[in-house]
Amino acid sequence: MGDYDPGMTSADTSAGLPADSSGEFFTDVPGPIRYEGPDSDNPLAFRWYDAGRMVGDRTMAEHLRFAVAYWHSFAADGADQFGSGTWDRPWLANDRDPMDAARSKMVVAFEFFEKLGAPYFCFHDLDIAPEGGTFAETCVDLDAMVDEAAGHMERTGVKLLWGTANLFSRPRFAAGAATNPDPELFARAAAQVRHCLDATHRLGGANYVLWGGREGYDTILNTDVGRELDQLGRFLNLVVEHKHTIGFEGTILIEPKPHEPTKHQYDHDSQTIAGFLRKYDLIDEVKLNIEVNHATLAGHDFVHEVTVAVDDGLLGSIDANRGDGRLGWDTDQFPTSVEEMSLAMHEILRGGGLGTGGVNFDAKMRRQSVDRIDLFHAHIGGMDVMARSLLVAHEMLTDGALTGVKADRYRGWDRRLGADIMAGRLSLVDLDEMVADHSLDPVPVSGRQEALENLVNRYVERVC
Ligand code: XLS
Ligand code: NI
Ligand code: NI
């Protein structure tokens, strides 16, 4: 085996910023990704996402409002609990001046948004600007980076879907932000949100998101749940008041998640948040940003979470990243299932669409996806899945494939008995007497689940 050549080369770790003389980082992708249709074999083309194609009364771009998440794509390096970063993100190197690095990161981010053709992006304050020695310094840096972002947005036409404050990474937030036992920490978190909401407003953001972060608890032994929920309600009311004070017209969104990082996250799922919003008088002010894998972690299908939100008038936006069926944590993978997303898109369309919201890919590549081009493959695939799902959903809804079946199934509730029950005109005694008088003995009717599963698959197969 002396001269055996295993055919391996050492990895090409091209460091340095932006990569070549053209000043580009993603040199393998020369221009914008284009639509080439389902027959295309070009991995750097869209097969389904055709931005200008009309679907019902809107274009695909208007329906889907795709956004790239700044954090996974540009502020992370692929590190996990067991090992250091694997991705090629030279601006994250420790020896860089933090503001210099933040500027380089932003140049690369906008190069990516433009080449991908993503109309929106989303950020946490700490994704776009470094943390300074004091809060005041952090704010100065954030403002400077917001100016920088405004310039890139103006130049490229890319818009902000939402901003959000990172109230979870730093040690100070270990016991939560709004739900912290220390009111001074509550104040610190409020100041940060005030600043980030102002920044989002300055950048014309369409929404402002609050994901619970560490708003939850690990042990009941040290936690006063009732008090913490009141604090959270107060905090959110402050955010809403401030939104009106500054004239921010975007939507305030809460992102449900049942656990991780804490064992019990207060914003467990859509129904839990609906109850919370009613209790704290916020139901007309706040909507939901629903993430696919957070639904899974809560033991729900994504479509369940979306349906609950739609039926309660609470659907705001979605994070389209999925989990893995056998991993119980937030793996943040790009969506791959047209069937799963078609059912959710069907509900979204039934509810009138995403409004100020959009489809954010709060998703990251796997740790072994070490090439720059992998970031394109990831997003192109996700966008195509969502676009195809939109087409499937639109056809199903236009045909009334599922809505018609449901209307028939509940028909009795539109007739006299159902209407009288729902209007409160019949007591338990009335119902008892009616059953006796008419010898009522209703017979079961088929739910037709298997036939409907086949029907959905036919739509998935035939859409083009
Ligand atoms: C974490 C959340 C987070 C939010 C933004 O699980 O998904 O990324 O979307 O703070
Ligand atoms: Ni998540
Ligand atoms: Ni998310």
Range of the domain at 152: 11-399
Q: Does ligand 1 have an atom closer than 6 angstroms to the CB of 291?
A: yes
Mean predicted lDDT score pLDDT of the chain? 95
The pLDDT score that the predictor gives to residue 17 is 57
Final residue in a domain of this structure, among 399, 434, 451: 399
Among protein residues, the one with the nearest Cα to ligand 1's atom 8 is: 362
How does pLDDT run across 31-57, given as a tens digit for each residue? 899 999 999 999 999 999 999 999 999
Per the annotation, the verdict on 39 as an active-site residue is no
Does residue 456 share a domain with residue 313? no
Among protein residues, the one with the nearest Cα to ligand 1's atom 4 is: 211
Is 62 within a domain? yes
Q: Does ligand 1 have an atom closer than 6 angstroms to the CB of 362?
A: yes
Asked if residue 357 lies in contact with residue 253, where contact means CB atoms within 8 angstroms, the answer is: yes
To test the pocket of ligand 1, the residue of 196, 208, 253, 255 to mutate (highest count of ligand atoms within 8 Å of its CB) is 255
pLDDT at position 229 over 80? yes
Band of residue 9 on the pLDDT scale cut at 50, 70, 90: very low
Is 264 within a domain? yes
Helix (H) or strand (E) holding 315: strand 315-319
Q: Could you identify the residue written with the tokens 């609050």?
A: 210
Band of residue 8 on the pLDDT scale cut at 50, 70, 90: very low
Is 435 within a domain? yes
**What ligand 1 atom has the least distance to the C-alpha of 330?**
6
Tokens of 395: 């056809």
Does residue 455 share a domain with residue 317? no
Amino acid letter at 17? Answer: L
Is 426 within a domain? yes
**What ligand 1 atom has the least distance to the C-alpha of 360?**
9
Does residue 356 share a domain with residue 296? yes
Domain with residue 208: its CATH number is 3.20.20.150
Does residue 394 share a domain with residue 444? no
pLDDT at position 19 over 90? no
To test the pocket of ligand 1, the residue of 121, 122, 211 to mutate (highest count of ligand atoms within 8 Å of its CB) is 211
- Give the side-chain half-sphere CA count within 13 A for 446: 5
| Closest residue by Cα to residue 274 from 310, 302, 229, 314 | 314
Is 406 within a domain? no
Pairwise pLDDT comparison (325 vs 21), residue with the higher score: 325
Is 4 within a domain? no
For residue 261, is the peptide bond before it cis, meaning its omega torsion is within 30 degrees of 0? yes
Is 312 within a domain? yes
DSSP β-ladder status, 264-265 and 216-217? antiparallel
Strand partners, 121: 68, 160
Q: Could you identify the residue written with the tokens 């656990």?
A: 259
Task: Report CA 186 to chain centroid distance, whole Å.
Answer: 25
Does residue 438 share a domain with residue 336? no
Q: Does ligand 1 have an atom closer than 6 angstroms to the CB of 164?
A: yes
Does residue 150 share a domain with residue 283? yes
The pLDDT score that the predictor gives to residue 11 is 39
Distance from the first to the final alpha carbon of the chain: 53
| Closest residue by Cα to residue 230 from 281, 175, 299, 293 | 281
Does residue 448 share a domain with residue 346? no
Q: Report the number of distinct structural domains present in the chain.
A: 2
Final residue in a domain of this structure, among 399, 434, 450: 399
Helical residues (DSSP H) of 48-165, grouped into ranges: 60-64, 70, 98-116, 125-128, 135-156
Alpha-carbon distance 127 to 74, whole Å?
8
User: What's the average model confidence in pLDDT over 269-295?
Assistant: 98
The ligand whose atoms approach the alpha carbon of 320 most closely is 3
User: What's the average model confidence in pLDDT over 92-119?
Assistant: 97
- Give the side-chain half-sphere CA count within 13 A for 224: 9
Does residue 455 share a domain with residue 360? no
DSSP β-ladder status, 58-59 and 66-69? unpaired
Does residue 230 share a domain with residue 326? yes
Does residue 392 share a domain with residue 432? no
Q: Does ligand 1 have an atom closer than 6 angstroms to the CB of 255?
A: yes
Band of residue 21 on the pLDDT scale cut at 50, 70, 90: low
Per the annotation, the verdict on 124 as an active-site residue is yes
Compute how many other C-beta atoms are within 10 angstroms of the C-beta atom of residue 451: 10
Does residue 357 share a domain with residue 382? yes
- Give the side-chain half-sphere CA count within 13 A for 250: 28
Asked if residue 332 lies in contact with residue 296, where contact means CB atoms within 8 angstroms, the answer is: no
Concatenated DSSP letters for 58-84? Answer: EEHHHHH-EEEEHIIIII--S-BTTB-
Does residue 215 share a domain with residue 110? yes
Alpha-carbon distance 368 to 370, whole Å?
5
Tokens of 126: 């700490």
How does pLDDT run across 76-90, given as a tens digit for each residue? 999 999 999 999 999
Compute how many other C-beta atoms are within 10 angstroms of the C-beta atom of residue 267: 22
Q: What is Dmax (Cα atoms) for the chain? A: 96
